[in-house]
């Protein structure tokens, strides 16, 4: 299993997490509508973003006749269900990730997963964990552009660059005293974005 990327400095922070669950045709229809609603009304996405241990969450429906074949010589599969793919990466340990997800986002989880065969509801989280364990697909390979960066690291770095560039552009003709004031202002605005980072 290789659910985290690794480079010469250590282990990446993002853990891959993929769950594939079967749905009936009716479920596919409902989930399609739900996903387009989530797409239009952003509140679920906003909450998911606030849960800053989630680099990425994605739901995809693949219908029973749409599974790709490597070549024409690969026989088409005769599947009895459509499949819901829950594709995500998270930072941190598996159990607490699922707990936090279920505690905070149980409504959208239940709405979308309800249509999957055998789904137990997000709360209590014990049966949900068992369900996920049964349907989780382990990764053979994972790639990460910045293995040493968590979601917070990336956000912090982007904001830091922004602020530093602003100071750089606006500080050209400043006297040393003014510059010190501006530098302090910069420092206080980015003070919680300066943690060390790198693979762990």
Partner 1 sequence: MLNLTNIQGNILRGYASFPHAQFLFFEIQNADDARAFIQRLLETNAVTPALWRAKPDATLNIAFTFEGLRALGLPTESLATFPCEFQEGMKPRANELGDIDESSPEHWDDPWKTHRVHMLISIYGRTEPALAAHCQQLRDSLPNGVQELKDSQPAGLLHINGEQTRKEHFGFLDGLSNPAIEGVPDDGGRDRQDVGNPDEKGRFRKIPLGEFLLGHPGEGGEMAPMPLPHLLAHDGTYLVYRKLEQDVVRFRRYLDDQADAFARTIPGPLPDGVSPQKFLAAKMMGRWQDGSSLIEHPDAPREDRRNAFGYAGDPAGARCPLGAHVRRANPRDAFGFGGKTMSRHRLIRRGIAYGKFLPKGEEQSPQSQEKRGIIFIALNSGFDQFEFVQQKWMNFGDDFEQGNDTDPIAGNRPTIGGRQSAQMMIPGDEATGRRPFICFDIPRFVTTKGGDYFFVPSLAALGLLASGRVVA
Q: Does 193 engage in binding with partner 1 (CB under 8 A)? A: yes
Tell me 41's DSSP state.
Answer: S
With CB under 8 A as the rule, give the number of residues binding partner 1: 33
Q: Does 159 engage in binding with partner 1 (CB under 8 A)? A: no
Among 38-46, 107-115, 151-159, 166-174, the segment contacting partner 1 (CB under 8 A): 151-159
Q: Does 100 engage in binding with partner 1 (CB under 8 A)? A: yes
Tell me 175's DSSP state.
Answer: -
Nearer to partner 1, 79 or 104 (CB): 104
Helix 43-50 to helix 94-113 angle (10° resolution) is 180
**Residue 104's closest CA among 173, 52, 167, 36?**
52
Q: Does 48 engage in binding with partner 1 (CB under 8 A)? A: no
- Give CA angle at 14 (148, 158), nearest 5°: 55
Q: Does 167 engage in binding with partner 1 (CB under 8 A)? A: no
Among 29-37, 56-64, 131-139, 182-190, the segment contacting partner 1 (CB under 8 A): 182-190
Question: How far out from the chain centre does Cα 199 lie?
Answer: 18
- Give CA angle at 93 (16, 85), nearest 5°: 35
Chain residues in the site for partner 1 (CB under 8 A): 13, 50-51, 53, 91-93, 95-96, 99-100, 103-104, 123-126, 150, 152-153, 156, 184, 187-188, 191-198, 200
């Amino acid at each position: 299993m290789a659910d985290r990327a690794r480079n010469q400095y250590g282990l990446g922070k993002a853990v891959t997490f993929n769950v594939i669950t079967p749905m009936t045709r009716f479920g596919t229809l409902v989930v399609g509508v739900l996903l387009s609603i989530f797409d239009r009304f952003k509140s679920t996405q906003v909450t998911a973003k606030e849960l800053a241990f989630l680099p990425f969450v994605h739901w995809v429906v693949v219908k029973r006749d749409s599974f790709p074949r490597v070549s024409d010589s690969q026989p088409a599969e005769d599947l009895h269900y459509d499949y819901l793919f829950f594709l995500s990466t998270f930072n941190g340990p598996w159990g607490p990730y699922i707990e936090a997800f279920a505690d905070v986002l149980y409504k959208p989880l239940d709405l979308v997963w309800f249509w999957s065969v055998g789904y137990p509801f997000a709360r209590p989280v014990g049966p949900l964990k068992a369900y996920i364990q049964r349907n989780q697909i382990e990764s053979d390979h994972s790639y990460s552009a910045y293995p040493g960066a968590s979601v917070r690291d990336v956000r912090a770095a982007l904001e830091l660059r922004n602020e530093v560039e602003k100071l750089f552009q606006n500080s050209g003709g400043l006297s040393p005293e003014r510059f010190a004031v501006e530098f302090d202002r910069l420092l206080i605005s980015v003070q919680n974005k300066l943690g060390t980072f790198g693979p762990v």
